[in-house]
Amino acid sequence: MEEQDLYSEINSIRNLMERSTRFISLSGLSGVLAGIYALIGAGLAYKLLYVDAGTDTYLDFNHDITVQLFFIALIVLVLSIATGIWLTIRKAKRKGQSVWNQSSQSLLKSGALPLLTGGCFVLLLLMQGYYGIIAPGCLIFYGLALVAASQYTFGDVKWLGLCDIGLGLLATLLPGYGLFFWAFGFGVLHILYGTIMHFKYDRENSAK
């Protein structure tokens, strides 16, 4: 009994320290839904580029298509953020935790710089017409943001970030396939990551 009590106390201390230094209310389901949104957006972009416009490569589309692609990406981004915030708040309330605390603030601060820098960089590429490296830029800077923020949340986030960085570098070597790399990085990987997170953390916590 004494060993069990000691083990229980150690677990309690570990959980307390984890809650004070790491934001653990991220929802795996939000990652899955973000991936689905990304795949739908990529499907719409593919139809717009290759079916409706009939282009041989996504590098030679015109200004009108560029605007439509921008709004598709914007809608995917807004839906992903809104869903992530909603599910995170719901999970935090279920666990009796505050969403806006020291760990969540540190997480946002760490990921904000590479994310905002990447956003500005991508907009500049779009304005200059360098379409071939927009998708790699999105993946690389998003991956950097995840790696930077991972020290304040689950370590699994770091691996998602590293995979996105690797995909971004590979997409740079194959600029004509940026849409497919974008779909895999933001779609497929997010679904895999979210599924792992859900079964590894969300279900475990709900079982408790």
Contact 148, 117 (CB under 8 A): no
In the prediction, which pLDDT does 44 show? Answer: 92
Instruction: Note the helical H segments in the chain.
Output: 2-21, 28-46, 63-94, 102-128, 134-149, 156-173, 178-183, 189-197, 203-207
Q: pLDDT tens, 21-48?
A: 555 567 788 889 999 999 999 999 888 8
31-57: b (≥16 Cβ within 10 Å) or e: bbbbbbbbbbbbeebeebbeeeeeeee
Q: pLDDT: is 153 or 206 the higher one? A: 153
In degrees to the nearest 10, what's the CA dihedral of 18, 92, 118, 192? 90
Model pTM score: 0.79
